[in-house]
Amino acid sequence: MSQIRTIKGTHDILPGETDRWQFLEKIIHDIGSMFGYQEIRTPIFEETKLFSRSVGEDTDIVSKEMYSWKDRDGTDLTLRPELTAPVVRSFIQHSLGTSAPVQRLYYIGPSFRRERPQKGRQRQFHQFGFEAFGSGNPEQDAEIIAIAWQILSELKLNESTALQLNSIGSKDCRMAYREALKEFIRPNLDQFSEISQKRFNTNPLRIMDTKAAHEKKILEGAPSISEFYSDEDTRHLESVQNFLSVMNIPFGFNPGLVRGLDYYTRTVFEFTSDLLGAQDALLGGGRYDNLVETLGGRYTPGIGFAAGMERFLMVMKGSGQKSTISKAFIYFVCSNEEILPTALFLSDGLRKAGFSVITDPLRRSMKAQMREANKLNARYALILGDTEVEQNTIQVKDLKVGDQVSISQSDLIHHFQHLTK
Ligand code: AMP
């Protein structure tokens, strides 16, 4: 009798390997709680239209890589090829947006794509990812990227990875760019492949993703999306870059980065690794301000990333040590937009020292932020106003005991190390 084996592109994770998986999962859980994110678990299969409507009909994923079938009652079902769409579906279905103005979620689990298997590319692979709903502000983009950076740092992978950043503008910007790009391509359209010609009508931006050398050559003089940014798009991008610099996160600006999925708006980013071969994308993400609405919910801006667990494990050396993240839960109350860089710098320092810190990406009043800190059961509130910034101090309020002290900003980490000893 012939032996039954795993299906092409799928792998057993054997006992000798599971400790490394558990180690990586632990880091993801720990960093998730350090930033105040909670885990969400959604089903492995969903209605097919969830992915065709969000990821996009003419993307590789939807057009040729999904495992889809008709259920006995005629419903079209699909093994999830990614998790953002399922998380958004769940967010809408359970009205998660009504229970808190910012929802911070993360996930870990298998995804399925019928790609040609090769090193770093499986048909069943595992992803982890983070999604934040509710804030369209650039500090939220910076926080999502900081989470990715923190995970890479914890795994000592930050030296071998590079962050590429781009903005693909808001919807109006992309509409105008789309037309300009079509005008540019039209005279040479017959020299493009069948697939690019199809994309010309459905999604011309994706033609910029082409790998074909002769198409790349024609596209060399193509207009750049940055020429079509609105003032707000430009400001948003500049703020994201500024906040990343405050947190010492190195990045490169790559105007060619468009990413394959249809739902992105403004910020898109990707971390690639020197230690991977041809499939060098370790983690990718972006802002998706219209996705909740596209899938039938109320307008809610969002941003997130997804990363491949197998690719992480390929580049991680050894089995790692125990993570040292502390649970002391701090809510950072920031009084106005001007002092955001100081707030981001200080909370980043606290997290690097192992403390769990939540910041408000909605720029709400200090009163509303204090209310939120209590609602989330934070143990401490850090209060930063203009006076504190002027004097290089910060107020530390113990929310359990109720007392409040003013300390020097340079003593902040030391103060918390002492408090939690
Ligand atoms: P994407 O949703 O395509 O942006 O993918 C996010 C991340 O998932 C990538 O950066 C990879 O690390 C990982 N990934 C995507 N497709 C595969 C695959 N077929 N096999 C293994 N990892 C993958």
Residue 313: CB within 6 Å of ligand 1?
Answer: no
Q: How far is the CA of 308 from the centre of ligand 1 (A)?
A: 5
Euclidean distance between the first and final Cα of the chain, in Å? 63
Contact 257, 166 (CB under 8 A): yes
Whether residues 209 and 357 share a domain: the answer is no
Domain finish residue from 227, 250, 270:
227
- Atom number of ligand 1 nearest to Cα 82: 2
Mean pLDDT of 152-162: 92
**Rounded CA separation 11/314 (Å):** 14
Within-domain flag for 340: yes
Within-domain flag for 7: no
Number of folded domains that form the chain: 3
Q: How far is the CA of 116 from the centre of ligand 1 (A)?
A: 13
Residue 287: CB within 6 Å of ligand 1?
Answer: no
For the record, the structure tokens of 354 come out as: 């192992």
Q: What is the CATH number of the domain that holds 103?
A: 3.30.930.10
Whether residues 98 and 54 share a domain: the answer is yes
CA separation, residue 271 to residues 61, 145, 258, 286, 308 (Å):
20, 10, 14, 12, 11
Within-domain flag for 324: no
For the record, the structure tokens of 311 come out as: 């690719």
Q: What percent of the chain has pLDDT over 70?
A: 96
Domain finish residue from 315, 349, 366:
315
Q: How far is the CA of 82 from the centre of ligand 1 (A)?
A: 9
Whether residues 48 and 193 share a domain: the answer is no
Within-domain flag for 372: yes
Looking at residue 42, the DSSP 8-state letter turns out to be -
Q: Which of 60, 121, 144, 209 to mutate to test the pocket of ligand 1 (most atoms within 8 A of CB)?
A: 121
Q: How far is the CA of 307 from the centre of ligand 1 (A)?
A: 6
Whether residues 49 and 127 share a domain: the answer is yes
Domain finish residue from 265, 293, 315:
315
**Rounded CA separation 31/25 (Å):** 10
Cβ count within 10 A of residue 408: 12
H or E element: which one contains 95? none
CA separation, residue 38 to residues 186, 235, 306, 330, 394 (Å):
48, 30, 15, 16, 28
pLDDT, mean over the chain? 92
When pLDDT is cut at 50, 70 and 90, the band that residue 221 belongs to is confident
Q: Which of 8, 111, 128 to mutate to test the pocket of ligand 1 (most atoms within 8 A of CB)?
A: 111
- Choose between 298 and 195: higher pLDDT: 298
Q: Output the DSSP codes for 229-262.
A: --HHHHHHHHHHHHHHHHTT---EE-TT---S-T
Residue 342 structural domain: 329-419
Whether residues 381 and 269 share a domain: the answer is no
Q: How far is the CA of 353 from the centre of ligand 1 (A)?
A: 30
Instruction: Kindly tell me the sign of the dihedral angle through the C-alpha atoms of 241, 244, 246, 248.
Output: negative
H or E element: which one contains 75? none
Residue 210 above 90 pLDDT? no
3-state secondary structure of 218: helix
Residue 114: CB within 6 Å of ligand 1?
Answer: no
Mean pLDDT of 242-257: 94
When pLDDT is cut at 50, 70 and 90, the band that residue 56 belongs to is confident
Among protein residues, the one with the nearest Cα to ligand 1's atom 12 is 308
Tally of residues, the chain:
421
Q: What is the pLDDT of residue 319?
A: 45
Whether residues 411 and 353 share a domain: the answer is yes
Instruction: Kindly tell me the sign of the dihedral angle through the C-alpha atoms of 39, 81, 319, 152.
Output: negative
Q: Return the axis-axis angle of helices 231-246 and 340-352, rounded to nearest 10°.
A: 40
Q: What is the pLDDT of residue 231?
A: 95
Q: What is the CATH number of the domain that holds 375?
A: 3.40.50.800
Contact 384, 335 (CB under 8 A): yes
Whether residues 89 and 46 share a domain: the answer is yes
**Rounded CA separation 305/325 (Å):** 22
- 114-138 as b/e, with b when 16 or more CB fall inside 10 Å? bbeeeebbbbbbbbbbbbbbbbbbb
Among protein residues, the one with the nearest Cα to ligand 1's atom 10 is 283
Within-domain flag for 323: no
pLDDT tens per residue across span 311-366: 999 998 754 545 555 667 999 999 999 999 999 999 999 999 999 999 999 999 99
Q: What is the pLDDT of residue 257?
A: 86
Within-domain flag for 12: no
Q: What is the pLDDT of residue 266?
A: 95
Among protein residues, the one with the nearest Cα to ligand 1's atom 7 is 307
**Rounded CA separation 310/284 (Å):** 14
Whether residues 28 and 108 share a domain: the answer is yes
Q: Which residues contact residue 31 at a Cβ distance below 8 angstroms, ignoring those fewer than 6 apart?
A: 147, 150, 151, 154, 325
- Choose between 216 and 240: higher pLDDT: 240
Mean pLDDT of 13-39: 95
Whether residues 335 and 223 share a domain: the answer is no
pLDDT tens per residue across span 107-153: 999 999 999 999 989 999 999 999 999 999 999 999 999 999 999 99
Within-domain flag for 322: no
Whether residues 50 and 104 share a domain: the answer is yes
Residue 82 above 50 pLDDT? yes
Largest CA distance in the chain: 79
Q: Which residues contact residue 204 at a Cβ distance below 8 angstroms, ignoring those fewer than 6 apart?
A: 178, 181, 182, 185
Whether residues 211 and 353 share a domain: the answer is no
Whether residues 61 and 165 share a domain: the answer is yes
Q: What is the pLDDT of residue 387?
A: 94
Within-domain flag for 238: yes
pLDDT tens per residue across span 251-296: 999 888 877 666 789 999 999 998 888 888 999 999 999 999 999 9
Q: What is the pLDDT of residue 5?
A: 97
